[in-house]
């Protein structure tokens, strides 16, 4: 029984989660378990091209992968099998809904989070400011930070071409204006946002950040991805970033300059809030829910189910919280204890509730025009509202392909 993943911690810490999963699997199943680790990009590519061989039997991934795998016919519906699970009723509805397509359940969730505004409480306190609720307030405070506080930049977001994180950040702001970017319409999909709103999102989150006269971000960091974003915040370079729960326990590693300083920053000076929204928007964010799925071409489906049922069980998920606390801060099951141990991080629970899962469309063709136009706006080559109109045209043209 072959299981491909990219989620177990890959550091020197004791593999509590992985070991617990193996023990639970061995207690339930007979088939020998082999675990293979690949980056999510590799997992996706290998599975899309090779799933028909029957390997791997079980795969873990992100929500966008689930959609693609379903459309490729590589996922086995689990509806009949989940009836036997005594813990099935405990899954959070929104997380479970994210696993469904056309009424069928194609995976079980094991972790989830909503993207939140991560901010420096000490910086805001120094300036006598409250966390921003609207994009307008956010920009005003950001410019104040850049003007008044030395050694820190107000904000950073991801603008690298092809960056998955950049797409997720953009979708977070889309979800502040619409429940879904595309909605089903008959047998096809229809774009569910207007051009002006797309332009406003480009303006608030890319033009004002990178290309305006007083940019919120550091133009030297234009074109960078999470490799600058997350470590930059953890090393005290930024006052605001958009991030998920994984940041909480990230105090060591090659990207961290000073472990003690980062621990202090996360424990004492970091606050969490809803992402600021623009005109006509409201609270909303990208919901990241990760599924574990079964290969429909597997010749060991019973063993594969044993692995899935074990991996997504509350017992295994509680072990996940022990060595990967960021994965269990906002649990997807009510028998899993939240690992939030600091009141400043509790707003993640509310943020999680406002999260929206990706619609079940193939997102590849949507990402290409977004990256191109996002970069054109960020580099000041295109007016944000013209880019919004252009993006609206291109996304509308994709309706029949999705």
Partner 1 sequence: MATQDISSSPLSPYVAEFKRFVSDTWLGYAMVLPAVIMLGAIIVYPTLRGIQLAFFEVSLLNPDQMTFVGLSNFGQMLSDATFKSALWHTVLLTAVAVSLQYLLGLGLALALKEKVPGAGFFRSASMITWVLPGIVMVIIFRFLVQPDFGPANIVLAKLGLETTYWFGRPGVAFPLIVVMHVWRNVPFYAIALMAAMKSIPETQYEAARLDGAGPLQAFRYITLPQISYVSMIMIVLHVIFTFNNFDIVYLSTGGGPLGNTEVMSTYIYKQAFEQYALGYGASMALVMLIIMMAFTVVYVRLEARD
- Give the binding range for partner 1 (CB under 8 A) out of 134-142, 240-248, 320-328, 357-365: 357-365
Stretch 362-381 residues interacting with partner 1 (CB under 8 A): 362, 364-365, 367-368, 371-372, 375-376, 379, 381
Exposed / middle / buried, residue 22 (Cβ in 10 Å: 0-12, 13-18, 19+): middle
Provide the strand spans (E) within 166-245: 182-185, 188-191, 238-243
Residues 168-227 that bind partner 1 (CB under 8 A): 218-224, 227
Instruction: State the number of binding residues for partner 1 (CB under 8 A).
Output: 33
Strand partners, 118: 241, 272
Query: Can you tell me which of 7, 111, 139, 163 binds partner 1, judged by CB under 8 A?
Result: 163
Residues 227-286 that bind partner 1 (CB under 8 A): 227-228, 237
Of 74 and 248, CB closest to partner 1: 74
Q: Is residue 146 a contact residue for partner 1 (CB under 8 A)?
A: no
CB of 375 to partner 1, least distance (A): 5
Distance (Å, whole) CA 304 – CA 295:
8
280: left (phi over 0), alpha (psi -120 to 50) or beta: left
Residue 358 structure tokens: 């990706």
Single out the segment in contact with partner 1 by CB under 8 A; choices: 44-52, 244-252, 343-351, 352-360: 44-52
- Which burial class, exposed, middle or buried, applies to 109 when counting CB atoms under 10 A from its CB (0-12, 13-18, 19+)? buried
Residues 6+ apart with CB under 8 A from 386: 199
Q: Which stretch binds partner 1 (CB under 8 A): 161-169, 182-190, 299-307, 343-351?
A: 161-169
Express the helix, strand and coil content of the chain in percent, nearest 5 each.
45, 15, 35
Q: Nearer to partner 1 by C-beta: 168 or 224?
A: 224
Helices (H) and strands (E) in the chain, counts: 16, 14
Among the residue ranges 22-30, 86-94, 159-167, 189-197, the one whose residues contact partner 1 (CB under 8 A):
159-167
Residue numbers of the site for partner 1 (CB under 8 A)? Answer: 45, 48-49, 68, 71-73, 159-163, 218-224, 227-228, 237, 362, 364-365, 367-368, 371-372, 375-376, 379, 381
């Amino acid at each position: 029984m072959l299981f491909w993943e990219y989620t177990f911690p890959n550091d020197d810490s004791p593999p509590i989660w992985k070991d617990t999963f193996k023990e639970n699997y061995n207690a339930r199943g007979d088939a020998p378990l082999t675990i293979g680790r690949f980056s999510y990009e590799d997992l996706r590519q290998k599975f899309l091209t090779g799933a028909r061989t029957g390997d791997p039997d079980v795969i873990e991934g992100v929500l966008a992968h689930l959609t693609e795998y379903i459309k490729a016919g590589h996922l086995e519906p689990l509806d009949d099998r989940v009836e036997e699970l005594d813990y099935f009723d405990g899954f959070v509805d929104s997380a479970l809904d994210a696993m469904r397509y056309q009424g069928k359940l194609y995976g079980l969730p094991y972790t989830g989070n909503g993207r939140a505004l991560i901010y420096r409480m000490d910086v805001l306190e120094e300036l006598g400011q409250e966390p921003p609720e609207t994009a307008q307030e956010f920009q005003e405070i950001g410019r104040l930070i850049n003007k008044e506080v030395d050694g820190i930049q107000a904000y950073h977001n991801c603008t690298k071409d092809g960056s998955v994180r950049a797409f997720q950040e953009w979708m977070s702001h889309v979800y502040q204006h619409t429940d879904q970017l595309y909605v089903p319409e008959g047998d096809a999909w229809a774009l569910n946002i207007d051009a002006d709103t797309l332009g406003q999102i480009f303006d608030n989150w890319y033009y004002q950040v990178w290309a305006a006269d007083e940019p919120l971000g550091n133009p030297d960091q234009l074109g960078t991805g999470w490799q600058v974003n997350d470590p930059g915040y953890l090393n005290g370079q930024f006052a605001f970033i958009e991030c998920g729960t994984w940041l909480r326990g990230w105090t060591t590693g090659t990207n961290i300059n000073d472990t003690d300083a980062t621990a202090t920053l996360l424990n004492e000076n970091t606050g969490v809030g809803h992402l600021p929204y623009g005109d006509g928007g409201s609270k909303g964010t990208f919901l990241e829910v990760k599924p574990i799925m079964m290969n429909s071409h597997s010749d060991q489906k019973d063993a594969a189910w044993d692995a899935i049922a074990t991996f997504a069980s509350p017992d295994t998920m509680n072990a996940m919280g022990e060595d990967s606390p960021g994965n269990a801060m906002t649990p997807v099951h009510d028998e899993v204890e939240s690992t939030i141990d600091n009141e400043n991080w509790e707003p993640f629970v509310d943020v999680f509730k406002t999260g929206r899962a990706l619609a079940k469309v193939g997102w590849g063709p949507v990402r290409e025009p977004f990256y191109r136009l996002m970069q054109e706006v960020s580099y000041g080559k295109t007016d944000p509202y013209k880019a919004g109109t252009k993006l609206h045209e291109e996304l509308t043209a994709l309706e029949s392909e999705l």
